[in-house]
Every structure is written in C-alpha cells, then in structure tokens.
A and B are shown apart, each in its own frame.
Chain A
Amino acid sequence: MKSIMETMEQGVLGHLMALERGGMGQQDQHDSQRLEMLKARAVTLRAKRDQIKQQTDVVKILKDKISKDLPLEDDAAAAGGFIEQQKSMLTAWRMQLKDLQRAHHLIGGYELVECKEGKSVCVSFHTAFEGVYLETYNMELDLTRTVQISRHNIPPSFPLESFAKQNLQKDFKAFLQTLSQNLNALAARRRQVCLLKELVGSVEVMESNQLCNILVLMCTAQSETPKAVLCTLEYGDLSQCLPTRVSIECEGFRVLNFKVIRSHDHYCVSKDERLNSIQISI
C-alpha cells in the first residue's frame, strides 16, 4: 500500500516535474527562436548598411569629381564603378524632379495624372487655409470625344456643373482656376467653423450647411445680465471665405441687418440704410 502511495506520489511529483521541465523547454524554444530572429535581422541590416555605405561613397566620389571639374569617365571608374556613378546621377536628377513636383503641390498647384493611356486625366486640387493643408479634391476627366467629368469627390452642393458649363470646353485653365478658388474657399469656410467650435467656447454653432455659406451662431453678449444673441452670417460670394451679410437678433431688440464692406485694412459692417459703421475684427 505504502509503496503504491509512494509510487503514486512519485508519479504525481514526477509528472509535475516533467511538466515543469517541458514548460521550461518551451521557453527555451521560444528563446532560441527569438535569438535566431534577432541574428537574422542583424545580418540583414548589416548587409543593408554596407550597401548604402557603398552607394554613399560612390556619391561622394561623384561630388568630389564634379566639384573639382574632373572628367567622370577615367581609369579609376572601371566598368562597374561607372555604372554605379550613372545610377547616382540619375538618382540625383530624379530627386530634383521629385522636389520640384512636391514644391508645386505645396504652393497649391494642380496635380495632373494621365490615366487609361491618355484617354482620361485625373486632376487633384489641394486646399489649404492660412498655412494648414486641408482636403484634397479629385476629379477624373474623360478625354475621348469632348472633355467631360466622369468621376469626382467634390460635395454635391458645390456648383460644379455650372462651372463646367461656363469654361470646361472653352478655357480649361480658367475652369481649373475657378474650381481651385472656390474649393479653397469652401475648405476655408469649413475650417473656420471647426476652429470656431474648437477655440471659442462662448459661441455655439447652431446651424451650418454643406457649402458652409450660411452660419447661425448663438453668442453671449457681455452685459449686466448676459443675453443670448443670434448671429446669422451669409456668404454670398462662394469664391471668398468672408461673409457678405450679417444679421443680429436679440430678445427685446430690433433685428439688425448689416452688409459687410471692406474699408482699407479692416472690415466694417454697415447698416443698409445709413453708413453707421461698427468695426468688427475678423
């Protein structure tokens, strides 16, 4: 009996010990796998580093030769070396072209990409407001017979068809310019609404629309008893991001309507009937 118990205990202990050994063995396996992985990665990186170092050396030699106005084809540039040099020159050229392209896009230029072997062209409009780059709108133009817009991601409330009708066939450059102007204005108005919501706590945006050309704001007027003032801003000119009319409503007061006009370096709102100007800084 005792021996059976002993055997059983040994068995259980033994079993437990075997399990423990097995578990640790798994850990060991993991460890050695990880080690292999790290080793392999180190080898790859080492090879990459060596390759880049070699390329950099070739480029440095090229720079040296060009700076000293030496011929690029000489005895030192044996067959293999010369091809490396050519590759570097092409890379330099490619880099400059890429830089130029990027510069063009950063200054707000349109991006044109030919697709379907010349049968259509994709135009991208990058928008920005006060240095912050915003949405990019894309448009595909079908060129098979007449120029036609086939696809785009411009919001439906935007008067794209009317702009296309005006200029698309006659004056492509003017069409693109009008679109760029209006899309940038739209992005700017939208951004202003976002900024208003984020930064100005005392103003609540009650209503806005997709084109952001009507904005209804609830402001709190500073007086003995804070009063709620409802401001409605209308943006009559879609190519601009400043309002053309402002309407102010407050309980117990007459509704005031103003036209926004520009005077020297600031904007004034003036009553329709008389030119009483109130300066508003925007």
Chain B
Amino acid sequence: MEQKYEEEIQMLQQEIEMLEAEQEETLRYIFMEHGDRLQRELKSVYKERGGAQKHTLSKLITETEINGITLNECFVKTLHKSERKLVQQLRLAGHCSVLLFQVEFAVTEIQEDDALLRRVTELNIVVDGVEFKDFSAFVSRVEDTKDLTLLFRTLRTFSERCEERRQTFQHFQEKYPDVVSLPEGCRSELMIIRSPQLPGISMTIFWKIDVSMEGVVKPSLELLLKMPDQAREFDTKKVMENGSDYFQSLLRVLGVEASIEGLIRTVCL
C-alpha cells in the first residue's frame, strides 16, 4: 500500500519536472522567435501591471550602460537541471560601441555543500570589425583557456582605445581636410599627412592597438616618412633617418593629439 503511494509520488515528481522544463522551453521559444509580436502585445498589459518588469528592465539598462556591453541576442538552452547540477548553453550576440561579437558557451553549475562551483566548459568566439585585425591571437588563447570574463574586460578596454583613435583621426581629417587623409577609413590604423604643395613627401602615422595574450591593451604610434630620392640630397639634418625617433620623443613630451597637430602644422605652410 505504502509502496504504491511512493511509486506514484516519484512518478508525479518526474512528470512535474518534465512539464516545467517543457513550459520553460516553450516560453523561451516564444520570446526568441516572436519577441517583437510579444512586445507589442505586452505594451497594453504593461500599462496595467508593468511593475516588477519595469524595474528589472531599467536595472538592466543601467547595468548595460555601466558595463559598456550591449546584448542584442540572448539564447539560453538548459541541457541538464537537477537539484545539484545545472548545465546550460548560451549564445550571445551584441556590441561594445562599434565592435560586434558573438559568443557561444556552456556553463556548468554544481552545488557542493556550502559552495556553488560554476565554470565555463566550452567557448566559441566570433568578432567582427575592421579593428580586429590583430585580435585573433588573443581570441584563440581565450577560447583555449575558456576565460570568458577576460574576453569582455579586454573587449571593453580595446573598444575604448579604438574609439579614442577613431575620434582623433576624424577630428584631424575634419580640421585639415586638404592635408590629412584616411585611406582606409577613420576606423583603421593609418593616417597620412601630405601637403598638396609638396607632392612625393608624406608622413604616415601608424596607430596600432596591440592586445597581448593576457589581454593587456597597448596602443603604440609610429611615424613613417617618405621622400623622393632627389629630395634626399637636401636632407642634411637626416630627418628621414631620425624622424620616427623624434616623433617618439615628441609623443612622450606632448602626448598624441598635440604631436600629430604639430606634424600637420609643419606641412601647412
């Protein structure tokens, strides 16, 4: 008699778990595939009882602004859920200022006595943007070590340095349109300074933003001078040879913007 009840209880518990999982999956499906429609329908419902949702939403918005990372897509799939263990697969897509990313990873959570152990077990990263030319070594390393949080910390810093570069380049192009050119766009690492009165002589600034394997972001600027061979005879002060070193000293003393401005002014005669 007892056994019969015990069996029924176990069966019911399993059924409940299954139904809850089914409900969760269906709800997620609805939001994933038909999020727009859902949002429209919910607008009216919101007015009646937005309450808790509004609060979570505004909190999310604040956190996004502070974090600098915007998630446009968030797909979650629960692979295993029991009392002590949770395994989920997540696919996130979004952007950090103008840099786009897509990550797919798996997270395992195990409840052990008084501690919750959580770890990333798989990681795939796709980044998109002109700036990511030299990013691939770092990305491979992060995929190997599964260091998801390092990826985003580095991405944030990297995007800030890229933004600084873009703004500086754009500023100078707008201020001196005859002299400054950005052959690969304002998001690239190249800026060429050339005076229309002195063809054949150009100063190219390479503003590289290097990312080490440990996620250390280091911008570095280099100057490349070009002069036609005939002009070199006149180069008694050996500017061609020493120009890039002089530029490094200038950077240390005046900083990036003032140094570039100084260079531009020399050809604006």
**How many angstroms from the CA of A91 to the CA of B27 in the assembled complex?**
8
Cβ contacts B16-38/A at 8 Å (1 or 0 each): 10011011101111110111011
Within 8 A of A (CB), among B11-66: 12-13, 15-16, 19-20, 22-24, 26-31, 33-35, 37-39, 41-42, 45, 49, 52-53, 56-57, 59-60, 62-64, 66
Contact of B239 with A by CB under 8 A:
no
Interface positions of B (Cβ within 8 A of A): 1-2, 5-6, 8-9, 12-13, 15-16, 19-20, 22-24, 26-31, 33-35, 37-39, 41-42, 45, 49, 52-53, 56-57, 59-60, 62-64, 66-69, 71, 74, 76, 90, 92, 103, 107, 117-121, 123, 137, 145-153, 156-157, 212-214, 216
Choose, from A44-52, A205-213, A248-256, the stretch at the interface.
Answer: A44-52
Contact of A42 with B by CB under 8 A:
yes
Smallest beta-carbon distance A245→chain B, Å: 17
Smallest beta-carbon distance A91→chain B, Å: 6
**How many angstroms from the CA of A180 to the CA of B137 in the assembled complex?**
23
Contact of A244 with B by CB under 8 A:
no
* Residue among A45, A89, A109, A176 making CB contact with B45, cutoff 8 Å: A89
Smallest beta-carbon distance B111→chain A, Å: 13
Q: Do B13 and A131 touch (CB < 8 A)?
A: no
Task: Please provide the 6 A-B residue pairs with the shortest distance between their CB atoms, ordered closest to farther.
Answer: A131-B146, A108-B149, A131-B120, A38-B5, A45-B12, A133-B118
Q: Do B60 and A104 touch (CB < 8 A)?
A: yes
* Residue among A45, A86, A97, A184 making CB contact with B153, cutoff 8 Å: A184
Contact of A220 with B by CB under 8 A:
no
Contact of A145 with B by CB under 8 A:
no
Q: Do B16 and A109 touch (CB < 8 A)?
A: no
Q: Do B26 and A60 touch (CB < 8 A)?
A: yes
**How many angstroms from the CA of A273 to the CA of B98 in the assembled complex?**
45
**How many angstroms from the CA of A110 to the CA of B152 in the assembled complex?**
12
Smallest beta-carbon distance A251→chain B, Å: 34
Q: Do A173 and B12 touch (CB < 8 A)?
A: no
For A41, the closest partner residue in chain B by CB is B9
**How many angstroms from the CA of A35 to the CA of B9 in the assembled complex?**
12
List residues of chain B with CB within 8 A of the CB of A91.
Answer: 27
List residues of chain A with CB within 8 A of the CB of B49.
Answer: 90
Smallest beta-carbon distance B70→chain A, Å: 10
Q: Do B121 and A131 touch (CB < 8 A)?
A: yes
List residues of chain B with CB within 8 A of the CB of A109.
Answer: 63, 66-67, 69, 152
Q: Do A101 and B60 touch (CB < 8 A)?
A: yes
